[in-house]
Chains A and B, each alone.
Chain A
């Protein structure tokens, strides 16, 4: 479970202060499939970065399974990001010199990639119907396929939660729809929590819970019944 308490992020530029996020109190249970929507600049990415321990809050805290992630040391934080959290980005952020399967297991390379990891990576990519693209470089596959590789990379360590920042933002609606469908399937099969930031109401409509943010504050937090 992820929980935030008075989570606040203020960006300072010289004397000017920009409120990125203000007093967010949020509970996300394991296995949820939820989306975060809101206008540009409302603080969606900021929230995701704080949840994933990529940035430090100005006030407040993020608790993962009851543990304040600010209390973690640098090394433990890295391990947390590797083992419990998966990230999916708008522009995929794959390593262009590595092929699909290598990108999927990249988080394990510093400590050595166990053989089961590679098998799991291959299984994930096969499940995403990319079994014939394992040794293709990111530049040799489509955007939708790149995002599938990125999702497999996020899932490789069986994380508790996947944080996806506009995962369909660069994709056409067909491949975007496929990506969300795959995420939903993985949510159901592996029980992994998905937090999907999106502009696209068609995407948020596929999720069970929709959190709407404006000017750094949650203005709506509703349950939703996905339409087929």
Chain B
């Protein structure tokens, strides 16, 4: 007779869930979708936030001003080095660093993802932010630039490594190899290295208009900024050669001011000392605009998340309410034959928990896959639509997984238990008659 029967609370909970498959599957889906949406949104926002932060925190950019030629811009114009002395005489200015910028091509290199494609995948909402970033690093004059013309161009920056080192500037982080010490060396942005297949020790030939020069790659750098990371950095002399500049000609002067000095005042001084010649790009302003826009974006995100959670609680409630008559009678019966209120609540809690934990875990998995799913599926239906590379933008943290599961459990347990709590509080007799 000794047949083994597994008869503990959680066995009853499992049996209840399996016995009502349709209801259980609906609940599972409700929780899964809510968690996936929450997770997908959070990871996308976190990824974008990290991108913005890295861009704005780059190289002490908050107290930096860039000075460029007023008529041809930072990219095609020139500034005379003599301006350095003039600007350095302004009180509050700490350093003035010259840089040379060029749009170049790499000989015999196929770029997997040329610069232009990164730009083209950006949605209108992100466009504004990207433009700010582009302005910040001062490579392209956005107003008139059609990105499609730039499909095989990358940006080259000529720097004086010693000067940049003083101000903790370009490049912010060498991930492999080292910075060049003499002319003829180059360091590559991480993304460019990845897309071109080039690495430390390789040689590249850089073409700019009718000039070209071959460099050896001494290192790979990373800044977190996708456009900077798609550039090549060489010595200022080499850059001047490629552009056909004289010794005293540079593209841009980066002015670093003392802490606590208002950038706009320094900017005004520069304008009055070099009247009509220069334009000022104030990075503290750009950084604050980006932050402001991003904070606005986050407010929308929170609203969406709140709606997702409330909707899922509502949906779960609706599913649970469908079977409330049967459930109430069942609870009345259990109470009549000796179950305590806490026993009934325990059973329903275990049931909700099983469903929500499974639903949340599936939701997190779906949330991780969501960017890939969107990227793959949307082009099938809307072939013209430009989808941002979401899977590369997202950032997943363990905290996010914990948060998602907690939110799924909260929604599931609240939605799953509220209708039953009423039944538990009723007298058994009222529960029978329900």
- A interface list, Cβ under 8 A from B: 49, 52, 54-56, 74-75, 78-79, 81-83, 86-87, 89, 93, 95-98, 101-102, 105-110, 112-113, 115, 118-119, 122, 134, 137, 153-154, 157
Contacts and interface: CB of A to CB of B under 8 A. Distances in A.
B18 interface: yes
B337 A82 contact: yes
A94 to B, nearest CB: 8
B5 A109 contact: no
- Chain B binding site: helix, strand, loop or mixed by DSSP? helix
Contacts of B329: 93
Given A97-B20, A98-B15, A75 B340 contact: yes
A101 B329 CA distance: 20
Given A102-B7, A112-B8, A107 B20 contact: no
Contacts of A82: 337-339
A87 B339 CA distance: 13
A54 B3 CA distance: 34
A52 B428 CA distance: 11
A118 B7 contact: yes
Nearest to A153: B337
A74 B425 CA distance: 12
A55 B429 contact: yes
Given A55-B427, A112-B8, A79 B338 contact: yes
A74 B5 contact: no
B346 interface: yes
B334 interface: yes
Interface in B307-349: 326, 329-330, 332-341, 343, 346-347
A78 to B, nearest CB: 5
A110 B9 contact: yes
Contact of A54 (B19, B326, B428): B428
Interface of B: 1-3, 5, 7-9, 12, 15-16, 18-20, 326, 329-330, 332-341, 343, 346-347, 427-429, 432
Nearest to A84: B338
Nearest to A154: B337
B336 A52 contact: yes
Given A54-B427, A55-B429, A98-B15, A107 B338 contact: yes
From B329, B332, B334, B340, name the one whose CB has the most chain A CB atoms within 10 angstroms. Answer: B340
B343 to A, nearest CB: 4
23 contacts: A49-B429, A54-B428, A54-B429, A55-B428, A78-B335, A81-B338, A82-B337, A86-B337, A87-B336, A93-B333, A93-B336, A95-B330, A95-B333, A97-B16, A101-B5, A102-B5, A105-B5, A107-B339, A109-B9, A109-B12, A110-B346, A115-B2, A134-B3
Contacts of B346: 110
A52 B332 CA distance: 13
B7 A113 contact: yes
A86 B333 CA distance: 11
A78 B15 contact: no
B7 A105 contact: yes
A124 to B, nearest CB: 12
A89 B432 CA distance: 10
Contacts of B340: 74-75, 78, 110
Contacts of A122: 1, 3
Nearest to B18: A97
A108 to B, nearest CB: 8
A29 B346 CA distance: 37
Contacts of B3: 118, 122, 134
A102 B97 CA distance: 82
Contacts of B339: 78, 82, 107, 110
A136 B12 CA distance: 15
Nearest to A105: B7
Given A54-B429, A97-B19, A87 B5 contact: no
